[in-house]
Every structure is written in C-alpha cells, then in structure tokens.
Structure 1
C-alpha cells in the first residue's frame, strides 16, 4: 500500500501529542575550518578532509541543536540521542546549545551551529586506530583532527621531530576535551618522531604503535616536500632528498603498516597523499622532480592496491590542488610575484579560487572509512577542476 508523506506526518504528529516526553535531540553540526600551519616543510606535505560524518556515537561527541521529535525509545533528561535513539550522549542541552566557538586556528574550530544530520554509518571511524605522518602541522594535522571528528578514538601523530609530534598530539587532545567534543580519557592521541625515508625508523615506529594499541586500521602518509627550481639548475642532492621522502618514504610507510595489517589479519585502508601534479604539469612554477615524485606515488598506490586487494587492504591516493593553507598564503603575500602567481592559479582553476583545506576533509574520511570498502587503486583529485581542462 502506498503511504503518503502527509499520512506519515500526521501519524508522527499524533504520536508526539500522546507523549510529551518523547523528545530527543538530533544534533546537526557545521564546523567551518581554518588552518594554523602550512602544508609543506622538511617533513610535511600536502593533504587533508571532511565533515563530521557517521552514525554519531559516543566516540564522536558533537554538539546539540534544535530538538527533533520522533517515535522511538525515549532519552533520559540531559541526554541526547544520535541517529539511533538507543545511542545517548550525556550533554546538558542548555549548555551546548548556547556554546559558540571562536576560530583558534585549528582544523576543527569554528562557529558551531548544530550537529550532523543523518549520514551513512560506514563513514563513522569509531574504534579505528589511525596513523597520520607529517601531522605535526599543516594538512597532515588537519587530517588527524578530522579523524577524531569522525569518531576515531586512537590517533598516532607522526612527524620528523618527536617533540613537535608530541606537542601536536597534546594540543589535539586538549582541544577536543576542552571544547566538549570528547570526555577526558575518552580518546588517546600520541606523537612519535619518525623519518619516513629511514626504513628502520618507520618499522620501529609502526611496531611501537601496534604494541600500544593492538594494530593499525588506517594509515595516511602526508609527509613530503616540494621545491621549485628550473630543471637545468636543480641541485642533485635536493632531487635525491625529495625522491627519498616523497617516493621511498611513501613505500616504507605503506609497507610497514601493511605488514601489521596482514599479520593481524585485519582489514585496513592506506591513503597516500599525492598531488594534482601527478596528473598535469601545473604552471608557471618549475618543479619537475616534484611532479615526477607524485606521479610515482599514484602508480605505487595502484600497484600496492592490486597486490593486496584480496588480502583486505585498500590503497588509494588523495591529490589536492592549490590549497590556501596559512603557509601558502604567507609565501604568496611575501613574494614579490605572489599576487600575480595566485591570480594565475585561480585563473587556471575552473572554480576560480584556491581550495580551502577543509575541502579535503570529506575525501579523506571517505577513503579511510568503510564507506569506500569497494574503492582501491584510485586517485581522488580535489582541485576545483584544474585537471579537467
């Protein structure tokens, strides 16, 4: 029998009239994002992605908003049901509905209006052990924070400098606890120092993470560097260093994480951060070795994806376009030709602007989560249409 929307609406209205106590809050969150640090340094490369997704459980503690009534299991006073009314979040409604967040320069900070509407449960990253390299700052740090937003409760922040990594981990943990998104002790975030171009350093760090949290579910390699030299003037030592970090480092990190996943017979997702430079020659800057290194990363991911496809490991790449990170903005502002360069980048981009770091959040959560269970060997390009022309 066909049931009209009017009939259903009337049925729900009558049901709500019968029980004035059957009100639960279905929050909805919209979190504008800003980034405090830039994308590329001696240890950090490009990367980063999206919204608070998933069937919001206790691990992804978002904020409340407008109460929505529906027929279902009642929530106790002072608790908020998520998508599933049986999942409750003990937050005082009055406190959280009034809470406003100022932009502190972090990936997840912004004006909180409400909590995420219903979304696919497969985007939820609750219970996953996530490892992100190049994550002490920049887009790697954005990715790390995004995983916590999406429900992950164990996060490893890796970067070249151990102290910077641990400081970043403490900052992430402090922010999420102080801003009410998680309870104290609910999530674990730890920093490790690692040189991705050093085989022993990578292997040792991955095993340390395994000993601490049991295994690894998600790996994102965001470590990398970029330099600009005319091809005929590019210093040979610089080329070797760039290839060691961008290509060999990607291989070492993916291989050591995969070893753990295979040994534990645990399905996992590996995301290597590439670049639109893997697919096109972006101009006007001269960066031939960098472009070649990112093309190699894309092909490496495809090859590993095929090799591990039947063993439960998915491997994909995320290729950002021009991203307006804080470091990029600073470089453009300080360079004599910065305004001209920015204008050219935007002119060559069909959407007419540089990407905001938060534009990458959705893509990385998709690739890292179970939502992409049948996606492997793919390069997801987020570039405002740059490579389409």
Structure 2
C-alpha cells in the first residue's frame, strides 16, 4: 500500500514538473530583448529599423508614427478652398507647416475658418500665398521663398485645377488653352518647382498630383473632353516624374478621386442639373464624395506610411469605375 502511495506521489510530482516546463516554453521571457533605434541606412529616411520597447514608466508608446509630420514643410496648390484645403488641414493636424497657394486675390472664407481652427485647436497656422500656377517664374519664386524660410521642403500637393463643359466640336481654343495650362502646365510647374527646392536642400519627401477618375473614363453626364484629357496627362506625368526622382528619395504619386461636392462640381450642376442623379446612380455607394473623405489619402501619400509607393495612382471613386 505504501508502495502504491509512493508511486502516486511520484506521478503527481512528474505531472507538475511537465506543466511547469510547458508554461516556461509557451511564455518565454522577452523583456530583455534589445531593439535598435538607429535610422536604417537601407529604408526611408525617417523610419527606424524596429519599434523601441515601451519603458515601464511610459504610459503609452507613440502610435502610427509613420503618419507623424512634425517639423515638416509642405505646400498645397489649389489650397484656398475645396479639396486642396481639406487635404492641407490634414497635413497640419499631423504636425506639418502648411502653405496654401491659390489664385484668389484674397483668401476664401473657408480658408479663414480653417486658419482660425488651426490656431485655436492646434496652436499652428495656415499660410496663404496668391500665385498663378501657369506662371513658371512666379511658382518657382514662391516655392523658393517657402523652402528658404525653413531650409527645407518635404513635398507638395498639386490640387489646382479647373473644368470646362463643352463638346469637342464646339470647344474654343481659349478654353482649351486655359484648362490645359492650369490642369497640366500648372501641375508640371508646381511639381518641378517643389523638386528643385527638395534637391537644393537635399530633402527627401513626397509629391502628390491630383488627377481624377476622369483620366481613365469618360464621365456620363459631363461633356468635358479637354478636362478628361488633362487629367490623363497628369497621371502619366506622375509616373514619369516618379521614374526620374525616385533614386533621389523623392516619391511622386497620383490621387484620382471620383465625383466630389466642390464649388467646381456645383458649377456642373448649374449647367446640367440632371448630372447629380446620373453620377449618384453610377456610384456603388449611391452618393457623391466630400472633400474631407480624402484627408486620410493625402496624409498617407505625404507621410512615411507610403514609403514604398511611387509612380502609383490611388483611385478613390466610391466604386464608380469598378462596375
């Protein structure tokens, strides 16, 4: 009987030992593992090789630091209102210094409201410059002034653009030249002016060109052959600039939005009231977009979160082109 009891105690002890060994294998001690916080020589200029461990005294670690734009400097053409202004606000909220460039003589009320919001909520400011993106000399001088103030320029968004509704056979040469000079020449002037300053200060970064889904489709309910062609040209320009500047650390991408409720689109509805119903019916979400819905895309494209993306086109159209 004593022998049976001894065997029982021995088996129980072995079972506890196995359980203890298994626990140690499942939960290894890893708090002593070391992490390098030296900037990577292979990857993007702002990204560290590994996330540093959280120290016991810290309440929380930085979250999504790839989206942090603190101390960076950006310019946004067409930033006086609408889509450009919405994206400029996103960059500012992420910590960047942002300059809105537009051809309006005085800032639009929407810009003034955004400026006040920036000052009250973030202790920062939005700056406004009046420029005509068709004027190459003026654009280069403006970008040089902005970069000179901070000794850096981290990138830009080229959002200045216009539309003109007219059939191809009736399209005037005056309107054709204006659309192409703003939508294409202006984007080219702005992107190259930004790149010159980025090269000058040896600053890597990102440039985002605002194209459109109109660059890949012919829009139902909108007769605008020159506008559509200009946006297709912008998409090709983005790919070409990405090829030229990628090895120098400057990324270039296109954003291709669907129909957005902006002052320019409201003008379309004034000329063709039936267009809105057509566009909503053609959209998988059954509605049009708002400028604020592209804030995240702009922040993604301008930040280190998109560090391996260049020469790409982000098509964000509510499924309009996916039927």
TM range (shorter): 0.7 to 0.9
Q: Tell me by how many angstroms 1:386 deviates.
A: 1.2
Match of 1:164 in 2: 107
* Corresponding residue of 1:362: 296
Alpha-carbon distance in 2 for matches of 1:370, 1:331: 36
Using the size of structure 1 for normalisation, the TM-score is 0.66
Partner of 2:91: 147
Cα deviation digits, residues 179-213 of structure 1 (max 9, x gap): xx323xxx343211111011111011011101212
Asked if the contact 2:93–2:122 (Cα under 8 Å) also holds between the matched residues in 1, the reply is: no
Q: Hey, which of these two has a bigger chunk of helix by percent?
A: 2
The equivalences for 1:162-311 within 5 A come to 162-164=105-107, 171-178=113-120, 181-183=121-123, 187-311=124-248
RMSD: 2.3
Q: Secondary structure at the match of 1:353?
A: coil
Map of 2:69 onto structure 1: 125
Deviation (angstroms), 1:124: 1.4
Residues 1:316 and 2:267 are matched in the alignment: no
> Deviation of residue 235 (structure 1)?
1.0
What is the deviation of 1:358?
2.1
More displaced stretch, 323-332 vs 227-236 = 323-332
Question: Could you tell me how far apart the structure 1 residues matched to 2:193 and 2:60 are?
Answer: 37
Q: Which runs of 5+ in 1 are unaligned?
A: 5-69, 75-80, 85-117
Distance 1:290 1:3 in 2: 61
Q: 1:341 to 1:173 in 2, by over 3 A?
A: closer
Contact 1:278 1:294 in 2 (8 A): yes
> Within 1, Cα distance between the matches of 2:287 and 2:26?
47
Alignment of 1:61-72 (within 5 A): 72=56
Structure 1 residues 20-79: Cα deviation after superposition (integer angstroms, max 9, x where no partner):
xxxxxxxxxxxxxxxxxxxxxxxxxxxxxxxxxxxxxxxxxxxxxxxxxx99426xxxxx
With normalisation by structure 2, the TM-score equals 0.79
**8 Å CA contact retained: 2:76, 2:84:** yes
Distance 1:145 1:331, change over 3 A: same
What is the rounded CA distance, in whole Å, between the counterparts of 1:326 and 1:253 in structure 2? 22
The 3-state SS of whatever aligns with 1:296 is helix
RCO comparison, higher one (Cα < 8 Å, 6+): 1
Equivalences, count: 274
Aligned position for 1:9: none
Q: How far off its partner does 1:171 sit?
A: 4.0
Alpha-carbon shift at residue 287 of structure 1 (Å): 0.4
Change (3 A) 1:198 1:297: same
Query: Partners of 1:326 and 1:161 in 2: how far apart?
Result: 14
CA 264–73 in structure 1, closer or farther in 2 if over 3 Å, else same: same
CA deviation after TM superposition for structure 1 residue 143, in Å? 0.9
Q: Computing the radius of gyration over CA atoms, which structure comes out larger, 1 or 2? A: 2
Gaps of 5+ in 2: 1-24, 29-53
Secondary structure of 2:300 counterpart:
helix
Q: 1:216, 1:182 → 2: CA distance? A: 21
